[in-house]
């Protein structure tokens, strides 16, 4: 152990973090939208808040790839943790549409598929 300490290594044990090469790969996305390219098909200014389910054009695109209807697709931010927390905390407090009430009043079982991340597991543990 002392030998490892003596190497002065800087280790990043963060899981799911993209490498510098992966980040560089997506650099062109930062300039893909030019001034004037921010109006949706329906005239919505996409730089502002949109509908809760996401930009309709994006929902249609992903629905095609997922083999489903756009109405069944939610396009959110880039954080699966934020989306997972929002959905599960609301279900725990308010229940699902057509469900039997808030999960906090029941004995829910949560499944967090593997591979997963410790933070996803922590959300399930916190809300169970």
pLDDT (0 to 100) of residue 114: 66
| pTM for the whole structure | 0.60
Instruction: Over range 21-50, report the average pLDDT.
Output: 87
Written in H, E and C, the secondary structure of the chain is CHHHHHCCCCCCCCCCCCCHHHHHHCHHHHHCCCCCCCECCCCCECCCCCCCCCCHHHHHHHHHHHCCCHHHCCCCCCCHHHHHHHHHHHHHHHCCCCCCCCHHHCCCCCCCCCCCCHHHHHHHHHHC
Structure confidence by residue, pLDDT tens digits, 88-113: 999 999 999 999 999 999 987 877 66
């Amino acid at each position: 152990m002392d030998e490892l300490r003596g190497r002065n290594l800087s280790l990043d044990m963060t899981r799911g973090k993209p490498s510098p090469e992966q980040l560089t790969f997506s650099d062109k996305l930062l300039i893909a939208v030019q001034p004037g390219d921010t109006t949706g098909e329906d005239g919505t200014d996409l730089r502002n808040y949109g509908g809760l389910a996401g930009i309709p054009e994006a929902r249609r695109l992903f629905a095609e790839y997922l083999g489903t209807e756009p109405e069944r697709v939610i396009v959110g931010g880039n954080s699966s943790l934020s989306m997972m927390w929002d959905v599960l905390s609301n279900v725990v407090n308010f229940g699902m549409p057509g469900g039997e009430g808030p999960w906090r009043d029941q004995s829910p079982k949560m499944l967090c598929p593997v591979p997963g991340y410790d933070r996803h597991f922590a959300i399930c543990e916190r809300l169970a």
